[in-house]
Chain A
Amino acid sequence: MRPERPRRPGRHTKLFAIAFGLACGFASKGFSGSAPPEYATTAAGREIFSRPLPGLDPATKAQFDLGVSLFRQAWVIAPSVESPQTQGLGPLYNRLSCIACHVRNGRGVPPVGEEPARMMVVRFGPPLNMPQMDARGGPAPHPAYGAQFNPQAIPGVSSEGEATLIWQKQDVAYDDGTVVSLRRPHVAFHDLGYGPIDPDIPVSLRNAQPLIGLGLLEAVPDDFVLELARSQRKANSEVHGHPNYVWDEELQKIRMGRFGQKANQPSVKQQVAAAFVEDLGLTSSVYPHETCAAVQSACLARSSTRPELTDAQLDAVVLSMRAAAAPGRRKIDEDDVKRGEVLFQNIGCASCHAPSLPLGDDAPLPEPAERTIHPYTDLLLHDMGEGLADGRPDFQASGSEWRTAPLWGLGLPAESAERQNYLHDGRASSLEQAVLWHGGEARRAQEAFRALDKSSREALLSFINSL
């Protein structure tokens, strides 16, 4: 066990001072020193999202490695002679492994044509004539398909079907007349296994997101997040984020949410356990029941009666998620990047994409001595407008609200010459497109971006790419 670190005096005073500074703008400059911060990996290459925090002790590193191997593991249908320790896939599932969607711990790849959207999940709400919330205040499941569409099934159980995307194109013009083409996905279902899907129900398409720096984000104190929300309200602008409050399965109470694209999970552990049961059909001590809907009798009959994922396996994956480093910044001394950082601040991006957050005293991760991180998120929900809305509320997140996405590591796919897929459903194939989709509370910042001249826009994007 790691020795307990003594609590620091005046913690709350410091938090409020930093939050006040952020609200006033003077403390909101992100990391711009030449040395990478201690929590960031200095490694390079295509596996940069899979690197551990620097300085893990050997025992923690071994746990990290075990977690990474389980993250990569293709889980198998029970019973298995060859790999009984990784059996339990299904009865319904999306993929065989975590890595299948979180490619090298990063984003999924949306389909470009008519092939199935295999690296994405589709979440449902119930028909509008049914209660929209469950007993905990979360989204009620669809009566026939549950909360998430599962295209795969073990033998003897009907698959729920297949989802493909139809891309709707539209153009956006900058003030200087330059036109950018955007695309928006719509889901089409094939071979539905449990009856037709009502066109009126909420359907939320989600692309897998990078899993970096999660332990650091978990270590940001709730008080600080609340203070950011208060600061935004006091500023009396269009930006007025609020935290989500969600059900904690382990603590059996409502807590602040901070993980997931609607901040609908309170901890890394619950986020990981939810993904295992929803995406792979692997139950755990956190979620001991399969996700079969009431009408899916074959699924219910094949459900596991005890957790399929052991606590040791779950803990290892959780540790590997918590200890995954954030990438260090690149090109910070370039003039374009420096200029872009100023623009980022001036046009209002930093109002939600808060450059600096403090780590609390109870950080459940191998702790860096450095107490400030630079993820460029406020962990709050913001209304992002009709263009990005999915119409599916999730606890206190409305159908048009999303948690501010962290920006660290955002430029790395482009540096590796890989396909770029940003936003919750992967619709933006460049950072520029992602900015242009911002609406709602971010409308003014988006309009300010469109009003910039070409070199200023490029400078701003260079800055974001350097994060």
Chain B
Amino acid sequence: MTLSHLSEALCLVAVGAYTLASCVSTQDPLRVALDANTALVAAITAAQDQQQQRAVSFYQRRAALCPPSGAERDTCLSDAGRAAVLACASVDALLSMTVTLQQSAAVSLDAARQCRLDEASCEAAMLQAAERTLTQARASLTRAALLAAEEAP
């Protein structure tokens, strides 16, 4: 018996079995890691969207200065695009690394999940690997966010 199970059982005693769902907390480390991973993916997606908006905004400011037509316009637009990509390169690289780290964590999480479903003994090791990589991914995302705030093209 775990402390978690005991506290949930006591909750049931206090409020009645029909409210089971409200008593049962998620103390399962795999579930916690899966939920944390889902939240991280949402945060990464939001950070990437913001970064793209920053880049597009940078490009639009430059492109607005280009001539309205002609061959010079094409060159000018290309230059504006190149400048926007370069201005955002550092943050893009960090975000790219964050995505790769998260994907690596997802592989470990999936393996841990499969260990659970197969009732195999590998779950703890896989979960530990996933948590390590998730921590790195969160740190990488934080660095990207800080750098984006500093650079703000």
Q: Are chains A and B native binding partners rather than an unrelated pairing?
A: no
